[in-house]
Structure 1
Amino acid sequence: MSSVPTRQKYQRTEHQPERRLGVLSIAFMIVAASAPLTAIAGGAPTSFAVTGLATVPAGYIVLSAILALFAFGYAAMARFIERPGAFYPYVAQGLGRSIGVGTAYAAVVAYNMMQIGIFAMFGFTVSSWLGGRFGLETPWWLWVLVGVVIVGILGILRIDFSAKIIAVLVALEFLVVIVFDIIALVVAPEGHSAAPLNPAELFVPGIGAVLSFGVAAFMGFESAAIYAREAKDPKRTVGRATFLAVIVVGLFYAFSAWSMVVGVGHSQVVDQSREFGPDLLFVFLSTHAGTLVTDIANLLFITSLFAALQAFHNTVARYFAELGNEGMLPHWFGRRSQSGAPVSGSLAQSALAVLVTIGFVIADSGDPLFPVLTMFTWLTNTGAFGLVMLMAMVAAAVIAYFAKDARGVGLFSRLIAPVIAGLALTTVFILVLVNFPVLMDMPADDFMTYLLPILVILAGVIGVVVGQIFKRTDPKKFQGIGHALEEETDPGALTSATTTHTS
């Protein structure tokens, strides 16, 4: 028996990912995870309906401002941490390695919930569309399984191939929403009031629910660092892609939600949102643009969900791979293909999606809306809860990281912006927690309103415990947590030179 550096082991079995992704490629995958058409067609009417407020567009403005401030510190830290894993290495280097592991575990649970929840909406939408358009009756879970297979196959191919498909789908999403926006602004039955865009009009009792629903529309914007290994110039690409995504998504959501208010009418948008729900956009298009445009929009709604599925799948697979590389999960999770795609992580995510779907199929009450009202709603809102919590932690990590060494970064980016963003994100997190029964559409005393958030927090606690165990039992491995790539002298190496493995 001899001690062999893990770095050497992985050099024999793994392949360095090729740096193929530029700013636009990563920005498209960030935007895809936010699913623009899904956010406008599904998220905006739901927000109008539940909150009873027409000021939802202002909520998007407030959230985009918060996330833009967050991006200043995030991008500044990205210049010094060329590590995939998004939140994981940032928290590890800012707040400590054990907390970093806890962040990674919680993020894996949150991202998986987001991705698997979207599968439910995808399966339901495809099944409904086939039934309504062609009279073909199929179970929703069949299309979930088909989606899992296609997404899984793309997940183990070259990342730039997946990025090109996502870019095309996102461009088409933008196109159909822009068509809706133009028609809505032309119809404008009650004129073009700018009041719904005024953040000052937002600060009413319903603000908590508005921000709680709205924050889910931005999920995935922070994922640029996930692709650090595959980015052409990660020190610049991560920050630029993040800023681009925040600006584009924030302005686009606010403008499109405002267009919905204008097109339907300020006095009618809440009532019609409650009547039609996510079908409001399609009902509007069928009335004012005809059947062909509506059919195209419905089809692109499906591809919007697919693009989001692919983006979140890529994120989860890379989290699995990094945790496997550093020994926080079994090492086989770190295996990659010749092109650098995280094969084991991709397969693990696909298997998990199938298992969770089977669980919900068994529990299916027979309600036609079960996959949307239960599987989609429960999992995506819990995922959003977890990601807001993690972003608040990253803001604190940025402050702590630069407090040790300013590294020439300006005061605004290393302190002022992350402090404001951290306080704002903590506030949003509390609002999400307080409004969680509303998000779940369940009574406040229902056990599930407590269980699901606890799962995310519990994963984080387990991660911290795992980190502490490694600190005591394997100090060398512990030192590599969240720091592995920075300690490499060989740019082609994949994992920590400090990690050891007994063979």
Structure 2
Amino acid sequence: MSESRIKIPRPVPRADRVDPLEQPASTSPRLRGRMGTVALVLTVMAYLAPLTAAAGYLPLVIGYGNGLGAPVTFLLLGALFALFAVGFLALVRHIPKPGAFYAYISEGLGKRIGLGAGALTLVFYFFAMVSTYIFAGVQIQAMVQRDFGVDLQWWVWSAVICVFVGACSYRAIDFSARLVGIVVCIEVAVILIFDVATLAKGGAEGISAEPFTWTSISSGSIAVAVLFSVGILGGFESTAIYRDEVRDPDRTIPRATYAVIAILTIFSSVATYCIIIALGPSNAVAMASEDPSGTFTGVTQTMVGSFFTQVVSVVLITSILACLLSVTNVATRYIHSFSVDGVFPEKLGSVHPRHGSPHKASLATNAVVFASIVVFAVSEIDPQVAYGVLGGVGNFAFQTLIILVSIAVIFYFRRTPGTGQSAWRVVVAPALSAILFVGLIVNGATHVELLLGEPTPLTTIGFAVLIVSFVGGLGYASFLAVRRPNSYARLGRSKG
């Protein structure tokens, strides 16, 4: 056989053997969506569940916080979050990555702390999800038993909701945005009807300016009031996680972030004032502390009527559903980011060819939540205690992340000169934000029993999980730096 006719086949690398971490950044899957500012605002507001906050938390701020001065507390806290947003949005503009807290802290404080913070963020969102699922199950159980005489355990309803939310989160973000947008608009309408009716009738003792006097503002404990209020306004930061799914993110995300802070601040302040007026300034604090969970439904019945109170009960359930869909979408995108970076299995970072959604990450997220519901059902832990502890513990995680991001702003821009950012944006505002939130955490630690109730084993487990998640993320990043440097280079969405 002639030598010229001999063909030596060249080895062709198999696709399934290619290390995704060695591929160019352009091959990393990207999510798709066309949300504008309004859709993004509604999506984030759904996560914050305005009606759920009005029914569950505003009376606590009145009854256990600074009493009649509660409306001013929300204005002060809104100003604090706006202060944090100054530096936060400077990072959003200069770091065009969808990993949000995970990406920003990685850029500012290094990949090790970044992965630790990313793990902490993911645990925080899972705590929020499981807590809300338990709360939803308890609320639906009570409503169905009261109205239809059917008594099913809370976890049955939680499991049904999990399947529904999973199906919705599997699809494109535009679908979720439309769905939760409708619910949020109804929530806002319900609260506005109550506000208008209360102001028109004058409440129990007439319109009063007493909540805005210094005596009222300084009464009770502003620190405790802020402790309960943080969870109502916190969550605006999730605007950044949708970077790949909005139109013109450099404009849409800052607009949506400030809009959410402003709307919720004013909304919460006005609603709190109307609750006080409906109860009457002389009785508001005592009545709100005596029955915080029933205060809002009580004043709606007095100011608007019994039928409206029934409407509130139904809309409260849809509010919780919208909240769950929104927070599930956020957690799903964190799992997607980790998978793109090689922290989690590569398959979880895939994007649905038609929906442009992180569909496999969505399935994984909802599977973990479903398993958590089963664990709580089998353990027979009091659901009232469970959702309170998980939500309260998550509150501390959120404030810790706010501090880390604030510090990351300072370090990032110190190492990145020539950005044109003012000292106010990248030094003064984030430094003040970090200092003030440290003060809030210290205050929370000294009043932890108000937020979490009596100490339980679940409380200890919750804080332990937070610590382990952060230390574990930091340790895994250190392992990657030594053993898998290519994987380490991907952390913080540095590629793709």
The verdict on a shared fold, with TM-score over 0.5 as the criterion, is: yes
Bigger mean CA deviation after superposition, 220-229 or 269-278: 269-278
Counterparts in 2 of 1:251 and 1:197: CA distance versus 1, 3 Å? farther
* AA matched with 1:354: F
Change in CA separation of 1:172 and 1:378 when aligned onto 2, cut-off 3 Å = same
User: Does the 8 Å contact 1:396/1:419 carry over to 2?
Assistant: yes
Q: Which residue number corresponds to residue 80 of structure 2? A: 66
Q: 2:191 aligns with which of 173, 177, 194?
A: 177
Which residue pairs with 1:347 in the alignment?
A: 363
Shift, 1:200, TM fit:
7.8
* Alpha carbons of structure 1 residues 91 and 305: separation in structure 2 relative to 1, 3 Å: same
Measured at CA, do residues 197 and 166 of structure 1 come closer, stay the same or move farther in structure 2, by a change above 3 Å? Answer: farther
From 398, 419, 422, the equivalent of 1:410 is 422
Which residue of the partner structure matches residue 111 of structure 1?
Answer: 125
Q: Distance in 2 between matches of 1:466 and 1:11?
A: 22
- Specify whether residues 7 and 473 from structure 1 end up closer, same or farther in structure 2 by C-alpha distance, changes over 3 A only: closer
DSSP 3-state at the match of 1:56: helix
What is the CA-CA distance between 1:484 and the residue it aligns to?
Answer: 2.4
1:268 to 270, 274, 283: 283
Aligned to 1:492: none
Tell me: CA distance 1:431–1:234, structure 2 relative to 1, closer, same or farther (3 Å). Answer: same
* Cα shift at 1:204: 5.4
Q: Per-residue deviation at 1:165?
A: 0.6
Could you say what secondary structure the match of 1:229 adopts?
helix
- Note the C-alpha offset of 1:138: 2.1
Residues 217/381 of structure 1: CA separation in 2 closer, same or farther (3 Å cut): same
Letter of the structure 2 residue corresponding to residue 452 of structure 1: G
CA offsets 1:368-397 (integer angstroms, 9 cap, x no match): xx32x2121011111121111101110111
RMSD: 2.2
Kindly provide the amino acid, as one letter, of the partner of residue 250 in structure 1: T
What amino acid is the match of 2:402? M
Is the 1:45–1:273 Cα contact (8 Å) retained in structure 2?
Answer: yes
The alignment partner of 1:79 has SS state of helix
Which whole-Å CA distance do the structure 2 matches of 1:457 and 1:49 have between them?
32
Matched, 1:218 2:233: yes
After TM superposition, the structure 1 = structure 2 runs for residues 185-264 of structure 1, keeping only pairs within 5 Å, are 185=199, 186-197=201-212, 201-203=216-218, 206-264=221-279
Listed as ranges, the gaps of 5+ residues in structure 1 are 486-494, 496-503
From 382, 387, 394, the equivalent of 1:383 is 394
Partner Cα distance (1:27, 1:379) in 2: 26
67-76 or 473-482: bigger deviation: 473-482
Q: Is the contact between residue 67 and residue 220 of structure 2 (CA under 8 Å) also seen in structure 1? A: no
User: Deviation string for 1:15-70 (max 9, x for gaps)?
Assistant: 53223111111111111111111111110112333347232222211211110011
Instruction: Quote the offset at 1:439 in angstroms.
Output: 0.9
What is the distance in 2 between the residues matched to 1:120 and 1:47?
22
Question: Which of 460, 467, 477 is the equivalent residue of 1:457?
Answer: 467
Identify if the C-alpha distance between structure 1 residues 303 and 468 changes in structure 2 by more than 3 Å, giving closer, same or farther: same
Give the counterpart letter for 2:430 in structure 1: P
Unaligned 5+ runs, structure 2: 1-12
Distance 1:302 1:395 in 2: 35
Q: Deviations over 1:76-102 (max 9, x none)?
A: 111111211220000000011110000
Larger Rg, first or second structure (1 or 2) = 2
Residues 1:162 and 1:208: Cα distance change in structure 2 (over 3 Å): same
Report the equivalent of 2:181. 167
Q: CA deviation at 1:243?
A: 0.7
**Which residue number in structure 2 is paired with residue 490 of structure 1?**
none
Distance 2:47 2:337 in 1: 20
Q: Describe the SS at the equivalent of 1:55.
A: helix
Secondary structure, counterpart of 1:341 in structure 2: coil
Shift of 1:5: 4.9
1:99 matched to 2:110? The reply is no
TM-score by length of 2: 0.91
Q: CA deviation at 1:14?
A: 7.5
**1:276 offset after TM fit, Å?**
3.0
